[in-house]
Amino acid sequence: MDGLLVNKLTIHSLKAAALAFACTVAGAASAADFITVPADPAQRAAPDLVSFACSKCHGPSGNGISISPLFPILAGQQATYIETQLKQLRQRARSDPHARAFMWGISRGLSDEQIEGLAQYFSSKPSAPASPARDAALAAQGKEIYERPLQLESGEVNCENCHGVHGEGKSKQAIPRLAGQHRGYLDLQIHYYRWQLRKSAIMNQVSAALTENQIAAVTEYLGTLQ
């Protein structure tokens, strides 16, 4: 079966599963409370935390490169972004289904020191290698979308200006690295923003402005970057 078709089927399955999952956890206050981390920062340093909790989803060897597109690749991610997201998850300020189901319980006992240690740990790992485009024409379209200004109601934005020329992100503004991320994960997160399951003044608008084909093109392109 064609690789691009397999990827599209995978993404459609992820979105369908996410919608069903959202309905399942919508009424639950803490869907992930069965997974907890000791609050005492002296009990678990970053490598031990990774082995205890993180590696189950974010890379079995602790390298931060997840296998499933349900979970983000954290290797080489901007440390400030990881730190910001973990603190939001600890505060339950992110309510998208997978955040609620997996990360609310894991993050609730983390201290600031542990969060900083995890952020530094994953950001120091080698980033995931780029993967060849499954559809060269689609990737080229994604490159054009990524680099050109996008007109929104609030004004003009540009993916490249925020996330970097090579998708590397920006540390000072806690803007995530997108290069080399799972295409399926990026697609799902863009839809979470579109569905208002993740909140960002800019990304909610951007995700609403993009067509399904444009989302597929941008995620295809970003998967080729390193």
Pairwise pLDDT comparison (144 vs 21), residue with the higher score: 144
Per-residue pLDDT band for 25 (boundaries 50, 70, 90) equals very low
Q: What is the value of pTM for the model shown? A: 0.84
For 151, the enclosing helix (H) or strand (E) is strand 150-152
Q: Which domains occur in the chain, in start order?
A: 28-123 (1.10.760.10)
Q: How many Å apart are CA 202 and CA 44, to the nearest integer?
A: 36
Amino acid type, 126: P
Task: Look at residue 178 and tell me whether its pLDDT is greater than 90.
Answer: yes
The CA-atom distances, in angstroms, between 32 and each of 6, 89, 98, 188, 211 are 30, 12, 9, 20, 33
Pairwise pLDDT comparison (36 vs 66), residue with the higher score: 66
Task: Look at residue 1 and tell me whether its pLDDT is greater than 50.
Answer: no
Retrieve residue 133's tokens: 């485009």
Contact 57, 66 (CB under 8 A): yes
Q: How many Å apart are CA 88 and CA 107, to the nearest integer?
A: 9
pLDDT digits (tens, 9 = 90+) for 101-125: 999 999 999 999 999 999 999 999 9
Per-residue pLDDT band for 95 (boundaries 50, 70, 90) equals confident
pLDDT at 29: 42
